Structure 1
Amino acid sequence: MRWDRLFDDLEAQASAEWEAERAALASESERVRLSRVSLRDRLLVLRDAKAQVRAHLTVGSAVEGRIAAVGTDWFAVDRGPASVSVVPLAALAGLRMPHADLLHSATGRAGQALRERLDLGFVVRDLARRRVPVRIEVVTGDSLTGTVDRAGADHVDLAVHDLETARHPSAVTSFRMVPFGAIAQLIVAADEAGL
């Protein structure tokens, strides 16, 4: 009888040690998995879940809405029926969302679609090709409106004019060369976004 209790006790100790070891391994595996999940991966999950977010930008402003698209170095926030903001990842200071969405986004997801491999330059060149009027908020806090004339590898040439006015030589008040690194967000009319 005493031997049965001894063996039961030893079995319980071994089982507890095994459970503790399994929990430690599972915890370490989760830490390793999370260390490989990028911000971009989490944005893709939030986009797929149609999550509402508030994106805080490095310039101090914020953009609220649903993540509509994610590229290699940018994401787009659908701000409602009026406009879409294209935000370079480098201009993002943080995201606010419900806790459940935050936890769900940690599952991560690697992008596969062509759109998810497009960089900011491609988006800006498309806006230039289609002559879409834009508002560019730059990291200095300035806000520029006009039409993208050209987009280089790392900058954009903007013909500055009122958004309500078509890009016509008489409407252009100046020209600005803006490096991609200085762009906090590009705001485009929702029906012109093409995202």
Structure 2
Amino acid sequence: MGWDELFDDLGAQLERGLEDEAELQRIEEERLRLSRLTVKDRIRALAEDPEARVGLVIELDGNHAQTIRPTAFGRDWIAGEFLSEMGRASEVIVPLAGISALTLTRGQLEASLATLELSRAGELADRLGLAFVLRDLARKRRTVQLWTALGSYSGTIDRVAKDHLDLAVHLASSPRRERSVQGYRIVPFEQLRLIRVLPA
């Protein structure tokens, strides 16, 4: 074997070794990235995917599933819309802790693993907790339907404390008036599964 052949052979081995090392590093970086993904990250990636804009099936306690189009993301909640049986869109807020599972197609599963860069607006919304959004609904006196681990109740949020809210229970079809209030419920945030904002 001549020197040229020897150097060519060593050069090829070195190049293969460098390629293998680069591939191993890429695989390890991807494993590390995946280990840091949260459910919210995956839902956010799906919100950018054209297939997911058709709707994302979110399972709640008690085998309740809702098809939602995510539109906004907070620290511990997502907001979106789902279509009622009559085809009208409703605004909903889903606490992340209330999600039991996501039911995805194969395409949605792959899309949920995408890497997204956060915008400055996204970073601001990410700092807003569920209590902030609920206080806004209380301030606006919006009629809501609360889905909890034990059932659903309609009414108006009177006040929001650190870890719970006070709901004045009344028919969804009537505004909050003292004479229409049927009672009051104190609902811990940990029991909330979905907050549906009813049309004004």
Alignment TM class, shorter chain as reference: 0.7 to 0.9
Question: Which runs of 4 or more aligned residues in structure 1 lie more than 6 Å from their structure 2 counterparts after TM superposition?
Answer: none
TM-score in terms of structure 1 length: 0.85
Supply the AA of the counterpart residue of 2:154. Answer: T
The alignment partner of 2:168 has SS state of strand
Contact 1:37 1:108 survives alignment (8 Å): no
The 2-side partners of 1:184 and 1:6 are apart by: 69
The 1-side partners of 2:162 and 2:118 are apart by: 25
Q: Structure 1: give runs of 5+ residues left out of the alignment.
A: none
Q: Does 1:155 align with 2:164?
A: yes
Q: Does 1:85 align with 2:95?
A: no
1:36-185, aligned counterparts within 5 Å?
Answer: 36-49=36-49, 51=52, 52-80=55-83, 81-106=88-113, 107-110=115-118, 112-113=120-121, 114-140=124-150, 142-185=151-194
Supply the AA of the counterpart residue of 2:132. Answer: F
Measured after TM superposition, the shift of residue 49 of structure 1 is: 4.1
Could you say what the CA RMSD is over the residues aligned between the two structures, in angstroms? 2.2
The 2-side partners of 1:166 and 1:135 are apart by: 13
Point out the more displaced range, 129-138 or 104-113. Answer: 104-113
The 2-side partners of 1:127 and 1:97 are apart by: 31
The 1-side partners of 2:176 and 2:57 are apart by: 32
Supply the AA of the counterpart residue of 2:162. Answer: A
The total of aligned residue pairs comes to 190
Q: Structure 2: give runs of 5+ residues left out of the alignment.
A: none
Measured after TM superposition, the shift of residue 180 of structure 1 is: 0.4
Percent identity, aligned pairs only, is 39
The 1-side partners of 2:26 and 2:48 are apart by: 27
The alignment partner of 2:162 has SS state of coil
Supply the AA of the counterpart residue of 2:99. Answer: L
TM-score in terms of structure 2 length: 0.83
The 1-side partners of 2:11 and 2:64 are apart by: 60
The 2-side partners of 1:70 and 1:94 are apart by: 17
